[in-house]
């Protein structure tokens, strides 16, 4: 999710084939899975495989790009409730990555409308991050208890 455009990746079938072979030969298969999960484009092809490998990779190494990618894959699969839950966890874990994730979701939503449902929570998180510390829109102002009145 940094500055990598996962919507345009060259020769994915070849990469998929090489990674599958490497996975079978590797002494460190979790790293191969992690690389696969990071490199796989967000698209409907091989979606169940991408979901399974991404879920396993998140258990091994919940890196920021993958934590935001997983909800997009879930949304593509029609698993909107899970996508929303995972997105909330991603926002909590990596709030600084929200603007980049929002840009990526907006790009992908043009091609895959199922992903558009992830925009609103990201927009809300981005707006909340711009508020001054301690600011809570719509909340009543808090007055500290007076030491004189005995309200402690």
Q: What is the pLDDT of residues 106-118, one digit of tens each?
A: 999 999 999 999 9
Give the span between the Cα atoms of 126 and 98, in whole angstroms.
6
CB burial of 99-114 (b: ≥16 within 10 Å; e: otherwise) equals ebbbebbebbbeebeb
pTM score of the predicted model: 0.72
Q: What is the pLDDT of residues 141-151, one digit of tens each?
A: 555 565 665 55
pLDDT of 19:
65
Burial class of 31 by CB neighbour count within 10 A (0 to 12, 13 to 18, 19+): middle
């Amino acid at each position: 999710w940094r500055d990598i455009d996962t919507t345009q990746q060259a020769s994915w079938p070849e990469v998929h084939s090489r990674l599958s072979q490497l996975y079978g030969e590797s002494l460190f298969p979790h790293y191969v899975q992690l690389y696969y999960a990071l490199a796989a484009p967000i698209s409907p092809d091989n979606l169940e495989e991408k979901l399974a490998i991404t879920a396993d990779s998140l258990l091994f190494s919940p890196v920021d790009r993958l934590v935001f990618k997983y909800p997009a894959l879930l949304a593509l699969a029609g698993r909107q409730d899970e996508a929303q839950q995972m997105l909330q966890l991603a926002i909590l874990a990596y709030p600084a990555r929200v603007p980049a994730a929002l840009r990526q979701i907006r790009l992908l939503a043009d091609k895959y409308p199922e992903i558009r449902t992830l925009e609103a929570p990201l927009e809300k998180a981005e707006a909340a991050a711009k508020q001054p510390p301690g600011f809570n829109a719509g909340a009543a102002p808090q007055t500290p208890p007076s030491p004189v009145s005995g309200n402690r």
